[in-house]
Amino acid sequence: MNAEILTTVILALVVTAAVLLYKLWWLWRKRRQLWEQVAVELGLSLTVNDTQMPERHGELQFFRLGRNRRARLVLRGERPEGEVCLADYQYTTGSGKSTHTTSQTICLVRASGVSYPHFLLRRQRPVLDALVEAFGGQDIDFADDEAFSKAFVLRGEDETAVRGFLDFETRQQLLPLAERRVQLEARGGTLLVHSGRLIDPTGARDFLQQALDVTEALRRRLAGW
């Protein structure tokens, strides 16, 4: 390859990288503007680049995943159900060419005066989860609720407590979440809700309401537990 061709190739790579970086910056700027509008509409305060979130919520297994954990955008405020937080959260896994950054929108509701037993709930992936369970992976099933057991993988540190807490009525309230691919983790007074992806900020109101509805269902169960 002669010098002229090499120069052309290098210039093309530089231009391509510059265009890509500009596009990423533009998308980030646009998304931030949308979240700023949502913050005003919902009466929430907005913070950029919160690296302390994983430490503040380290009691949840979700916040121990990966490295370089941070919330790029965070909306916080108060609701009757408790302190609420919406965030675009990301973490990195793998190394070298296998490095991957996972980004998703999460919602946290921290209620006072309640204490949930620790549990994680997500939609079941039949083939993969069957293999995991065959090798000893936990999945709490209910003999009297085949629909719920087939829809979700349920895990918790105290299986007896989780079984007692998630009674039939509460499970029925949670069952529709499977079709929406919603995932939950709860411990103490904190509930985490996400769907494993970034959401359109215009859907933030519905996303927050979904988390508040789950919070209310769990609080009602605690009152009768």
Q: What is the pLDDT along the chain (225 residues), one digit of tens a residue?
A: 566 666 666 666 665 665 555 455 456 689 999 999 999 999 999 999 999 999 999 999 999 999 999 999 999 999 999 999 999 999 999 988 889 999 999 999 999 889 999 999 999 875 455 444 543 457 899 999 999 999 999 999 999 999 999 999 999 999 999 999 999 999 999 999 999 999 999 999 999 999 999 999 999 999 888
pLDDT for the residue numbered 225: 81
Do residues 100 and 94 touch, judged by C-beta distance below 8 A? yes
Q: Tell me how far apart the alpha carbons of residues 209 and 81 are, in angstroms, rounded to a whole number.
A: 11
Cβ partners under 8 Å of residue 20, min gap 6 = none
pLDDT for the residue numbered 14: 63
- The DSSP bridge partners found for residue 192 are 108, 185
Q: Tell me how far apart the alpha carbons of residues 93 and 110 are, in angstroms, rounded to a whole number.
A: 27
pLDDT for the residue numbered 159: 95
Q: DSSP string of 184-195?
A: EEEEETEEEEE-
Provide the greatest CA pair distance for the chain.
Answer: 79
Do residues 196 and 113 touch, judged by C-beta distance below 8 A? no
Q: Tell me how far apart the alpha carbons of residues 190 and 209 are, in angstroms, rounded to a whole number.
A: 16
* Alpha carbon separation from 70 to 30, 36, 109, 124, 144 (Å, rounded): 19, 19, 18, 27, 41
Extract the tokens encoding 128: 């993969």
Of 118, 95, 120, which is closest to residue 182 (Cα–Cα)?
120
